[in-house]
Amino acid sequence: MRKHFAVALVATSTLLNAASHSAFARGTSRNFEPPLPGDTSGWLGESGTASYYGPAHQGRRSASGLRFDQKLLTAAHPWLPFGTKVKVTLAGTRRSVIVTVTDRLYSNRRVVDLSVAAARQLGMINSGIAEVTLAPA
Q: How many residues are there in the chain?
A: 137
CATH class of segment(s) 46-136: mainly beta
**Which residues lie closer than 8 Å to 12 by C-beta, 6 or more apart?**
none
pTM greater than 0.75: no
Cβ pair 34, 111 in contact under 8 A: no
Every domain of the chain and the residues it spans: 46-136
pLDDT band at 56 (very low <50, low <70, confident <90, very high): confident
HSE value, Cβ hemisphere, 13 Å, CA-based, for 46: 20
Give residue-wise pLDDT tens across range 63-102: 999 999 999 999 999 999 999 999 999 998 989 999 999 9
Residue-averaged pLDDT of the chain:
80
